[in-house]
Structure 1
Amino acid sequence: MKRTATAHWSGTLKEGKGELTTPSGILNNSNYSFKTRFEEGVSGTNPEELLAAAHAGCFTMAVGAALTQKGITGIDLHTEAAVSMEGLKITGVHLTISGSVAGISQDEFSAITKDAEKNCLISQALSIPITSEAKLG
């Protein structure tokens, strides 16, 4: 299996702009630029936001898969991924997951999320510190 995306860029770094597109159409000439990457309140996306979205999705699916393998149904999960940067370096990702899961203790839920933190595909692809916290409720 191979997944693809395309990026187009026109202009200088600070004044230029780009578009990101995926075959699924979810991203279709989606705006990204220096301003969407480094300034607040500018409409558009950036690579770090997309990394956060990919990591949140992968991690949440990994937790859901582990719960499903335990025979648990009625799973409702929500994850926020926060990508930290210092200058031009990504220094870590923190995943916060909460959810409603019947028939599981907080300790079991935390153990499952710690495993997903280390073993989801996006976590495995990154060489930065990754942390997580889990809350049932």
Structure 2
Amino acid sequence: MSSKTKIIVLKSKELIYTGIFIVLGILLILLLWYMFSPKENEKDTTDTSISTETFATYQPGVYTSQLNLGGTTLELQTTIDKHAVTHIEVSNTNETVTAMYPLLTPSVDAINEQLQITGDLDSVTYASDNQYTTLLILEAARQAAQSARIDTN
């Protein structure tokens, strides 16, 4: 039997560099996993079941609120049924307002499309190019909805 002993010579400098690269690699993997893993507080948008307990109770009707754009005060009419906001409309627009605020009408139309599906002002999403116009409209609609809300407590 002939066994040959093999001797491996490792320099401490190489061991230190290898250890540092292994630690950095593990940290990089953990960072990537943390960044791209799903968060617990994100809601699942595929769940379409809506309980009736989450709906507010409203006095049905058409409610108005004021929408101030620049120096112009517009009237926002909000149509509400028993459990949801169903339609929003700006009633006293003229050519000057539509010329000064060209995103007003498309924003109202986009909100109404989403209200047909959800009926909830808090679930309305908007594009970044018309976020300020949409937020102003939604705030005015929330004021109208607040005046229509029936306190169930």
Normalising by structure 1, report the TM-score: 0.28
More strand by share: 1
More helix by share: 2
